[in-house]
């Protein structure tokens, strides 16, 4: 009985399906819940084959795997938004006053390029960005060399945080934010390392990894405390975290002031050499014969005040690098190669030096100067020549020797009577000499004063008037020139050196000969061509004081020359 009932039900079901399909001569919608499409206008009496679903090809994915895949994409987008919001917050609060420079390496560009795109899109201020190649070399190094005086801030996306110092170099004032893909242990290792000491204002952003992957992971912000002990150690510090679009400690300054307690007694190595008055090296010897070295000078005293204020000590050593350009360049090379921490050398601030090392604010101004022997008063016997300049003396001498012949010619209208009559020439000579000594009453047998010719008397009269004027001017001025000292003209210009036929010297290893090579001043270029080089300043000053035939001038630092002269020489 039961089997008959089942057979009748199946017959009825097949009949209904067959009747439904064969009578379908109209639009019948067929919806697929997986692909959301429908098939219409079925005119065929045969059922079409079911559409191929890629899920059922090969190894089909379960519904849970499909959900997980979709959920993972949503989580990545969510993580990107969280990091971009954090960076936008930091830029708005701390980095907007300076031009931000964004630097990212090749790995970050390939793996997290979406984060960079979203960050650049949301950055509403002017910025500069650069790339790092796979060898961790900045592809455009010009972005680290500002063309104006505006400050810079840096945002780094690095897969290896230990290479941050190699990219930026030392940054003592700029604010640096590093988004690191390294592990938490590597981030703490970097913050504790020596290389992080050169990045003073530093914030490191690292993602906190949790057990539950379905929950949002906060971003932890780190910084470091510098020189916590005498060995110069650094200590990582957790500042705050970013979660739910806000900081856990919103009122905390993420770039706090450093070195509030100084350097904890750390001992620095100072490279210095003797260059007064900035650094003065004094060598003394006790009664036993032991040599003691002490230091003094402007820069030494400033360094000593800084050590007391910032709680550190220092040792001064001679430059370990022998540079052909001189000890100053040796000190700079020691610091650039990290053989010394500080340098005292009286070094001038220059752009090429600032690209190698950091220099303090200028504490004094200096310039090039030349030194010659002081201008002394002329001897008393030379004072009798003072009232007249040398052209006047030449004219008077010419008149004294040659005027006798026009006078003799005006009286006799011939000079034949002077031939063989040397006594007459001698009388005329003493007559002219007498006119200069106001002996106008000189007479002789054939004297001109006894002549009867009007022309001769007129010529003698004008000659006496001229002589009286000259002698009156001389006698009225000679007393002043004998009483008061006369100083020659001071040489205070390059033209004075050239016109005075000076030999000019300078130090062979101090840089002055190079700093004037590109001078557009014609006289300076002419002077530099004939420079003589000496080993030290003492030798140059010795050449100045012992110059015999040709005067000597020494070119060097004005402050240094003034100090040495004031300390070792007198007016005598």
Segment 118-148, tens digit of pLDDT? 888 888 888 899 999 888 888 888 888 777 7
pLDDT band at 354 (very low <50, low <70, confident <90, very high): confident
pLDDT band at 278 (very low <50, low <70, confident <90, very high): very high
3-state secondary structure at position 379: coil
Residues 6+ apart with CB under 8 A from 316: 270, 271, 272, 295, 300, 344
pLDDT for position 78: 57
Question: Does residue 373 have a pLDDT over 60?
Answer: yes
pLDDT for position 545: 85
Are 348 and 364 a contacting pair, CB within 8 Å? Answer: no
Domains in the chain: ranges and CATH = 70-247 (3.40.50.2300), 266-365 (3.40.190.10), 391-483 (no CATH), 494-568 (3.40.190.10)
**pTM to 2 decimals?**
0.61
pLDDT for position 243: 87
Cα separation values, 206 from 157, 210, 281, 458, 502, Å: 11, 13, 50, 114, 69
pLDDT band at 8 (very low <50, low <70, confident <90, very high): very low
Question: Does residue 440 have a pLDDT over 70?
Answer: no
Are 380 and 482 a contacting pair, CB within 8 Å? Answer: yes
Residue owning tokens 């190894």: 59
pLDDT for position 211: 46
- DSSP for 423-481? HHHHHHHHHHHHHHTT-TT---TT-GGG---HHHHHHHHHHHHHHHHHHHHHHHHHHHH
Are 548 and 366 a contacting pair, CB within 8 Å? Answer: no
pLDDT band at 220 (very low <50, low <70, confident <90, very high): very high
Question: Does residue 342 have a pLDDT over 90?
Answer: yes
End-to-end CA distance of the chain: 150
pLDDT for position 411: 67
Highest mean pLDDT among 122-126, 197-201, 378-382, 393-397 belongs to: 197-201
Residue 230: both structure tokens together: 């005498």
Average pLDDT, the chain: 78
344 or 428, which is more confident: 344
Q: How large is the average pLDDT for residues 225-245?
A: 90
Q: Which residues pair with 491 in a beta bridge?
A: none
Residue owning tokens 């796979």: 134
For the stretch 204-215, pLDDT in tens is 999 887 545 556
Q: How large is the average pLDDT for residues 224-244?
A: 91
Strand-strand pairing, 199-207 and 368-371: unpaired
Q: How large is the average pLDDT for residues 17-36?
A: 40
Distance, in Å, from the CA atom of 108 to the CA atom of 211, rounded to the nearest integer, reads 24
pLDDT band at 40 (very low <50, low <70, confident <90, very high): very low
572 or 182, which is more confident: 182
Distance, in Å, from the CA atom of 18 to the CA atom of 16, rounded to the nearest integer, reads 5
pLDDT for position 241: 93
pLDDT for position 313: 93
Are 274 and 299 a contacting pair, CB within 8 Å? Answer: no
3-state secondary structure at position 374: coil
Question: Does residue 268 have a pLDDT over 90?
Answer: yes
Exposure string over 171-192, b if 16+ CB within 10 A, otherwise e: beebbbbbbbbbeeeebbebbe
Highest mean pLDDT among 25-29, 149-153, 521-525 belongs to: 149-153
Are 556 and 533 a contacting pair, CB within 8 Å? Answer: no
pLDDT for position 367: 87
Question: Does residue 536 have a pLDDT over 60?
Answer: yes
Q: Which residues pair with 223 in a beta bridge?
A: 237
pLDDT for position 269: 94
Distance, in Å, from the CA atom of 233 to the CA atom of 225, rounded to the nearest integer, reads 9
pLDDT band at 221 (very low <50, low <70, confident <90, very high): very high
**Residue 219 host element (H or E):** strand 219-225
pLDDT for position 248: 92
CA 157-162-168 angle, 5° bins: 65
Q: In 10 A of CB 87, how many CB atoms?
A: 25
Question: Does residue 90 have a pLDDT over 90?
Answer: yes
Highest mean pLDDT among 8-12, 40-44, 213-217, 527-531 belongs to: 527-531
pLDDT for position 212: 53
As separate numbers, helices (DSSP H) first and strands (DSSP E) second, the chain gives 18, 19
Q: Which residues pair with 206 in a beta bridge?
A: 220
Lowest mean pLDDT among 22-31, 320-329, 466-475, 509-518: 22-31
Q: For 537, phi and psi rounded to 5 degrees?
A: -70, -35
Q: How large is the average pLDDT for residues 241-258?
A: 91
pLDDT band at 381 (very low <50, low <70, confident <90, very high): low
pLDDT band at 56 (very low <50, low <70, confident <90, very high): low
């Amino acid at each position: 009985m039961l089997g008959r009932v089942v057979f009748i039900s199946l017959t009825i079901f097949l009949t209904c399906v067959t009747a439904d399909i064969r009578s379908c001569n109209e639009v019948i919608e067929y919806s697929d819940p997986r692909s959301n499409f429908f098939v219409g206008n079925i005119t065929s009496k045969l059922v079409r084959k079911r559409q191929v679903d890629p899920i059922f090809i090969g190894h089909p994915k379960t519904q849970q795997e499909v959900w997980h895949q979709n959920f993972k994409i949503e989580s990545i987008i969510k993580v990107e938004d969280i990091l971009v919001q954090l960076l936008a917050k930091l830029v708005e609060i701390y980095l907007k006053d300076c031009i931000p420079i964004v630097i990212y390496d090749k790995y970050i560009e390939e793996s997290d390029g979406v984060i960079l795109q979203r960050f650049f899109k949301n950055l509403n201020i002017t910025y500069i960005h650069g790339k790092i190649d796979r060898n961790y070399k900045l592809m455009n190094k010009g972005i680290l060399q500002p063309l104006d005086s505006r400050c810079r801030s840096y945002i780094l996306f690095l897969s290896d945080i230990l290479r941050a110092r190699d990219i930026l170099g030392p940054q003592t004032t700029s604010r640096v934010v590093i988004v690191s893909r390294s592990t938490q242990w590597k981030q703490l290792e970097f913050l504790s390392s020596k290389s992080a000491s050169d990045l003073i204002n530093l914030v490191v952003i690292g993602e906190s990894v949790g057990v539950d992957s379905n929950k949002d992971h906060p971003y932890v912000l780190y910084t470091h405390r510098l020189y916590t002990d005498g060995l110069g150690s650094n200590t990582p510090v957790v500042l705050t975290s970013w979660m739910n679009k806000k900081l856990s400690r919103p009122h905390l300054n993420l770039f706090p002031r450093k070195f509030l307690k100084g350097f904890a007694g750390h001992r620095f190595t100072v490279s210095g050499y003797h260059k007064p008055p900035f650094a003065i090296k004094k060598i003394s010897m006790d009664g036993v014969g032991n040599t003691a070295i002490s230091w003094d000078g402007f820069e030494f005293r400033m360094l000593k005040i800084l050590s007391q204020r910032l709680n550190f000590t220092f040792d001064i050593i001679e430059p370990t690098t022998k540079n052909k350009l001189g000890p100053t360049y040796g000190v700079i090379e020691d610091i650039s190669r990290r053989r010394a921490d500080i340098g005292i050398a009286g070094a001038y601030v220059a752009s090429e030096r600032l690209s190698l090392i950091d220099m303090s604010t200028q504490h004094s101004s200096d310039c090039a100067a030349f030194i010659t022997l002081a201008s002394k008063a002329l001897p008393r016997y030379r004072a009798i020549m003072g009232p007249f300049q040398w052209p006047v003396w030449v004219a008077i001498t010419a008149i004294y020797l040659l005027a006798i012949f026009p006078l003799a010619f005006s009286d006799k209208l011939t000079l034949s009577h002077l031939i063989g009559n040397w006594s007459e020439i001698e009388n005329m000579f003493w007559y002219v000499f007498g006119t200069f000594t106001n002996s106008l009453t000189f007479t002789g047998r054939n004297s001109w004063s006894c002549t009867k010719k009007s022309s001769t008397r007129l010529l003698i009269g004008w000659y006496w008037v001229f002589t009286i004027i000259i002698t009156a001017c001389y006698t009225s001025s000679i007393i002043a020139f004998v009483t008061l000292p006369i100083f020659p003209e001071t040489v205070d210009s390059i033209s004075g050196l050239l016109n005075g036929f000076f030999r000019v010297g300078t130090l062979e290893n101090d840089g002055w000969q190079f700093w004037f090579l590109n001078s557009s001043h014609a006289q300076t270029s002419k002077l530099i061509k004939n420079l003589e080089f000496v080993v030290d300043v003492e030798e140059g000053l010795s050449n100045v004081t012992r110059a015999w035939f040709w005067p000597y001038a020494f070119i060097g630092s004005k402050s240094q020359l003034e100090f040495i002269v004031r300390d070792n020489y007198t007016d005598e």
